[in-house]
Amino acid sequence: MDSTESITTYMKYKNYDDLLKVILYSSQSVLGVVPLIYHINYNNQDIVFLQTGTVGGLVIHYLINKDKPPKKFIELKRLSGEFNFVDKIGNDGMSLYIPIIELEKSTLKFP
């Protein structure tokens, strides 16, 4: 691998609670970046993931779920970390509304 190639690291989580902690942490950083959540059916498995990282490295945070996400957004409460699946962006200023993007294909190779 030469210096222009990036390294991809995969981190598998047991549940949404742990996966969403990555978003809470990212949203409180100096940059205040909130990663998007993606869903893909990969090898007949429903995978929900987000990516973080910078130049030279990419981290894919993912979980394998029994079903695809039930709604189009996740409402994530900033203070408690509690979350709900919702149909649309709400008006709670203390919550993050994260869209779940449906992917048809990806070049990622999940372990």
Answer yes or no: is 18 within a domain. Answer: yes
d(CA 2, CA 22): 29
Q: What angle do CA 61, 57, 44 make, to 5 degrees?
A: 35
Domain count, the chain: 1
Structure tokens of 27?
């949203």
Nearest CA-CA partner of 64 in 78, 50, 54, 49: 49
User: Range of 84's domain?
Assistant: 7-102
* Averaged pLDDT score across all residues of the chain: 90
Question: Does a structural domain hold residue 91?
Answer: yes
33 in any annotated domain: yes
pTM of the entire predicted model? 0.87
Handedness of CA 49, 86, 34, 100 (dihedral sign): positive
9-25 confidence digits (pLDDT tens): 999 999 999 999 999 98
Q: What is the CATH number of the domain that holds 90?
A: 3.10.180
Which residues on neighbouring strands pair with residue 107, listed in sequence order? none
Residue 2 lies in a domain: no
Q: 74 in a domain, yes or no?
A: yes
Residue 48, number of CB atoms within 10 A of its CB:
20
What does DSSP assign to residue 44? Answer: T
Query: Residue 93 — pLDDT band, cuts 50, 70, 90?
Result: very high
